[in-house]
Amino acid sequence: MPANKTGSSPKKKSRRLRLIVIAVVLLLLGGTGFGTYWSISTVRASFPETTGSLQLKGLSDPVQVKRDGHGIPQIYGDSPEDLFRAQGFVQAQDRFWEMDVRRHMTAGRLSEMFGSSQVETDAFLRTMGWRRVAQKEYDTKLSPATKKYLRAYSAGVNAYLKDHEGKALSVEYAALGFKNDGYKPEKWTPVDSVAWLKAMAWDLRGNMQEEVDRALASSRLSAKQIEELYPSYPYSRNKPIVQGGALNEATDEFDPKATSTDSTGSAGAAGTVNGANGAAQGLQSQLTSMSKTLEKVPALLGPNGSGIGSNSWVVSGRHTTTGKPLLANDPHLAPQLPSVWYQMGLHCNQVTSKCPFDTAGYTFSGMPGVVIGHNQDISWGMTNLGADVSDLYLQKVTASHYLYDGKQVPFRSREETIKVAGGKSRTITVRSTNNGPIVSDRDEELTNVGKSAPVGSGADDVAPDRGDGYAVSLKWTALSPSNSMDAVFGLNRARNFDDFRKAARDFAVPAQNLIYADTKGNIGYQAPGSIPVRAKGDGRYPAPGWDSRYRWSKFIPQSALPWEYNPDRGYIVTANQAVIDKKKYPYPLTDDWGYGARSQRITDLIESKIKDGGKISTDDMQSLQTDNSSEIAKVLTPYLLKINVKDPFVREAQKLLEGWDYTQDADSSAAAYFNAVWRNTLMLAFGEKMPKELRVKGQCLRVRPAEDSGPLEDLDGNTRLVRECGTRDADQAQPDGGDRWYEVVRKIIKDPGNDWWKTAGTRNQPGAANRDELLAEAMKDARSELTAKLGKNINTWSWGRLHRLTLKNQTLGTEGPGVVQWMLNRGPWDLAGGEAAVNATGWNAAGGYDVTWVPSMRMVVNLDNFDKSRWINLTGASGHAYNAHYTDQTEKWAKGELLPWAFSKTAVDKSTDDQLALTP
């Protein structure tokens, strides 16, 4: 399909034109054998009924489903059970394929749908046991009301399944029939809904990848070099979320009005690197393999890295044109088709204590309630808090035992049988320790553990004999039952800040920054989550599992977690920056924050608007969401312009940067060239010095063996360099170019002789390349690269032509036959924005310029008049290819536009295009 300039996707077609397109596609497919099966009736068979009347068994009273011109449903009922039953029915109408894939993933049962290619992924997911934990949560943790709502939701889904199967559910089931004939979805259960929170927790799991990467980097880089690549958070430049307050250590309660004093951050901070860092240095074989295993799961949910996060901010009414708060949110996740979000309203016809819901916003297909949005009194948003809630532990093991404090302890073991479509079932044994399941069991290479380096560096960090190697276990808060599902309904019902904070206390996993505003004019923030305190170590490297001193000693009390209410500055910004200055807070939350490029840009723009009494409008909030400014360009460009470029071919490109305002519009040639220079700078200064485990798969270099410190040639004149190829997927490789790398470069940019500026081949030689020589080389390489990609004429260059988004349908859109992918996928779109910009259309500099994560939705909530709020989704309401609402919001989303968001019954009625009555 042709590229869409600056988000201009194919215009909304009439029904007739859509059918003509489908007919042409099917004619083209006819010669492949698909045509006879993929008829127009097959494609349209799953389109939902959205008008008239349908019976829904189990309803106590009729329910109205009102859809606007974009197919977004608003549901009206007389009881919570009726609302959630209808929600399940409606989401199954639009998104059941997505729901079915999700529940198979969380249960480790993808092989039952897609065959042997998913066995390893299933084995890893079974080892973590998401579904088992979700079952325990449902059985032992959730409130009776939450269980009742989950059962009602499941009944609604199953009512739809009873009358629909195969192609009538989704066209993907017709395609699946070629590979897995006879597959029929099982009934939906409440645990299917609860388990999805585990998948989202995995997507937002904190610093696990950084923990692995630091350990892998130790094969080629020194401890000092690794620390240079993970600099400390710049508290003095990029403000944390909570800028005041203090913890009363006597009561373990945080007081946002108290005056803080410097704290040592001593709780759990002892022994930060000694034993753990030493242990990490001997982990190459098992961590390399485990890294590959970890990548298989994010491939289904999206890349996990510095781009995964979100923006949210709230501005007090004293700084707005409305006189009431304005709240904005845009979570950054991997692009998916359909979007991970599903817009919806849930309205009790009469709001009472028995029917307390009048809420609208963004839901997850497969889960009842609204996750982000507003009700009639309050609004809330979320960004990833990023707390360190997982640790990898080295384990000295035998076949049946592991070593702990000098004693042999038997594993807790269980067998799991993985059924495989079209193949034989596979049985695996899951072994668990008191520090979590042995995740290294899922790869044969992990039997050779830690063969190269000694473990531990101090007298109290003596490691056991390595023998055949160490295993690796995973301890993660999401593997313990919690009642996070209760928090969803608590937020939906909340009427004030006290209710909001009470609901937040239940939000154990994933830990999120929660912002708040209400119709009375109040704004607030709460950091919730189940966050461990380590007795020894800081969670930055794998820890010795045989030593009880490295166990989690407790969890930060909910009362001690930072919060704010109506701060004097009149606004709150959360964008994955540090929550609070660690010098002023005794509990370590993490050292792997986002580095604050987005949050500080948002803060600066808000402050520039409100200074001297200025006011912020809804339009301003929307405009801020699409700010494309590049923070690293402001740092690096002045140095690039000072370089004396003699080659006229390169000089022509360098001139693009003269007078550039650092904005990354889709049509900007300067942005295209700068980002190419940035990418090549990172590769020359850092990428070529990384171990193969962190470099892009297939990217090969001639390098000195890690253990070889001798001359580059032997006595016979033969080179000692060897060919070494990267092993990482492109969207996971390093250096990824995120704002951690901004900080790395910022710290060395004024030091032209820094070792990082020396190229890999000459770093130990006299006269090695310095900063300006490296930057000149990067400018030359970027010019050549863009000439090859975009043409010789720089006037035709544009950032959007490099920076493209392709939306891919789940599973079959990536793994299915080419013709099926062609039918299900959409794009590409040429996008503005960039890595660590407020308009965070992220890309991985090691892998290329394609968009790998996006603002998955955007909303601006007007607390003065909810009907003047605005929202947009990445794709559309429908999960059915060729339905009018499959990607009907994408064009506007890519341009930074928002849709009107009707909330009151009067406004909803006015915007309704289709109305469906669900009757008992």
380-415 pLDDT per residue, tens: 999 999 999 999 898 999 989 999 999 999 999 999
Rounded Cα distance, 103 and 250, in Å: 45
**Segment (H or E) for 642:** helix 631-642
Rounded Cα distance, 676 and 591, in Å: 30
Positions in the chain short of pLDDT 70? 1-42, 205-206, 262-308, 443-462, 466-469, 704-720, 760-769, 813, 815-817
Map 669-704 to HEC letters: HHHHHHHHHHHHHHHHHCHHHCCHHHCEECCEEEEC
Question: What is the reported pLDDT for 264?
Answer: 53
What does the DSSP 8-state code read for residue 543? E
Q: Which residues of 312-323 are buried (b: 16+ CB within 10 A; e: fewer)?
A: bbbbbbebbebe
Question: What is the reported pLDDT for 655?
Answer: 98
Please name the residue that has the structure tokens 């072994």.
431
Rounded Cα distance, 807 and 893, in Å: 13
Question: What is the reported pLDDT for 13?
Answer: 40
What's CA 121's distance to the chain center, in Å?
A: 19
DSSP string covering 63-106, please?
A: EEEEE-TT--EEEEESSHHHHHHHHHHHHHHHHHHHHHHHHHHH
Pairing relation of β-strands 246-248 and 722-725?
unpaired
Rounded Cα distance, 164 and 171, in Å: 12
| 3-state secondary structure at position 191 | helix
Helical pair 597-610 and 631-642, crossing angle rounded to 10 deg: 100
- Classify burial at 434, counting beta carbons within 10 Å of its beta carbon; exposed 0-12, middle 13-18, buried 19 or more: middle
Instruction: Give the pTM.
Output: 0.92
Tokens of 675: 């980002």
Please name the residue that has the structure tokens 């503005």.
832
